[in-house]
Structure 1
Amino acid sequence: MFDWRRVSEKDFPLLSRWLAQPHVARWWHHETSLEAVARDFGAAARGEEPSEDLLILLDGRPFGLVQRCRLADYPDYRAELAALVEVPDGAMTIDYLIGDAAQTGRGLGARMIREIIEATWRDHPDATAVLVPVPAANRASWRALEKAGLRRVAEGELEPDDPIDGRDHYVYRADRPRRS
């Protein structure tokens, strides 16, 4: 089981280092300067944006990041997804990375995704589903989603984070478990 906490400004140097790692940079395509990290993560860290940036800890040490948000809070993004798949009211989405390359390939990504989604049902009682688009070329990412129990529900074109990627994406979904 992992622990996590909201990203704070003191974590920006760590995020900057992670975003510069080749295995992260390939898919996140993010500026890595401290100024860029502060610009892009600062509003969420200060609670000025509705998304949640969560630092994931293994044995008390940071190893990953999960971004979690309600799709309704980002109408343009919701509309782009809705062109491919039904987006139910209350749907959320996540994005994620493992910052430390030594921690990749160990099944931690799937565990991290599974635990965050389980926590989403507790943390967000009105959440109905979690939808996760992933570039079709990012096999490691969509395999982690599958191992975490999500199912592929759509394929189609979305704007890529990295311009070198094609527009082909898969969309994965987890639904809130039914209460028995």
Structure 2
Amino acid sequence: MLTWRHVTEDDFPLLARWLAEPHVARWWNHECSAEAVARDFGPSLRREEPNEDLLAHLDGAPLGLLQRSFVHDYPEYVADLAPLVDVPLRAMTIDYLIGDPGDVGRGLGPAMIRSALGRIWAEFADAECVLVAVHADNVPSWRALEKAGLSRAASGEIEPDNPVDDRRHHVYRVDRPV
């Protein structure tokens, strides 16, 4: 069973370990020192940032990280997406990772994304849709989105998270169920 809770400072060592895992580091391109994790995840924890960081647990064990926010809270992200897709005012976005390599390739990513979407629809009555931009070469990520029910809405150029990547991205969308 998947459960969720907000990230706490006690989770920072776990996040640092996950961010250092090669399957995560490749796409998140994030510093994993204790200082960097505190710097980058602390503002969300203290509500100084408009996004939320949540830990997914599977049967009580940490599984992955989810970040969620309204797209319009990040004007630079709107600027990236708007040339490719319509960005409704109450569109949300997610970013996610499965932490331990042993949990990758077991269908847990799509399950985690589906569960996250269910929480968004339940907790954010004004969320119109969820938009997610994924690098075109990150096949496991965009396949997980498809398996979770999102559809490719566009492909185009967006500034990559990792400077080793080119600008090719796919944008996925799912609308609030009626």
Using structure 1 for the length normalisation, give the TM-score: 0.97
The answer for the alignment partner of 1:81 in structure 2 is 81
1:117 equivalent in alignment to 2:120: no
The answer for the alignment partner of 1:57 in structure 2 is 57
Quote how far apart the aligned CAs of 1:47 are.
1.8
The answer for the alignment partner of 1:48 in structure 2 is 48
Distance 1:52 1:150 in 2: 21
Alignment partner of 2:49: what SS?
coil
Quote how far apart the aligned CAs of 1:4 are.
0.7
Quote how far apart the aligned CAs of 1:80 are.
1.3
Quote how far apart the aligned CAs of 1:140 are.
0.2
Alignment partner of 1:86: what SS?
coil
Quote how far apart the aligned CAs of 1:18 are.
0.3
Distance 1:38 1:140 in 2: 28
Deviation >4 Å, runs of 4+? none
Distance 1:146 1:77 in 2: 21
CA RMSD of aligned residues (A): 0.7
Using structure 2 for the length normalisation, give the TM-score: 0.98
Distance 1:67 1:111 in 2: 16
Distance 2:36 2:147 in 1: 33
Alignment partner of 2:134: what SS?
strand
Tell me the amino acid that sits aligned with residue 9 of structure 1.
E
Tell me the amino acid that sits aligned with residue 62 of structure 2.
P
Quote how far apart the aligned CAs of 1:76 are.
1.5
The answer for the alignment partner of 2:6 in structure 1 is 6
Quote how far apart the aligned CAs of 1:72 are.
1.4
Tell me the amino acid that sits aligned with residue 114 of structure 1.
R
Distance 1:63 1:111 in 2: 11
Quote how far apart the aligned CAs of 1:74 are.
0.8
Moved more, 72-81 or 148-157: 72-81
Distance 1:123 1:165 in 2: 34
Q: Equivalent pairs: percent with the same residue?
A: 63
Structure 1 unmatched ranges of 5 or more: none
Distance 1:155 1:50 in 2: 27
Question: Which digits, 9 at most, give the CA deviation of each residue in 1:136-162, with x for residues without a partner?
Answer: 000000000000000000000001011
Distance 1:27 1:80 in 2: 18
Distance 1:76 1:166 in 2: 18
Distance 1:38 1:153 in 2: 34
The alignment covers a number of residue pairs equal to 178
The answer for the alignment partner of 2:105 in structure 1 is 105
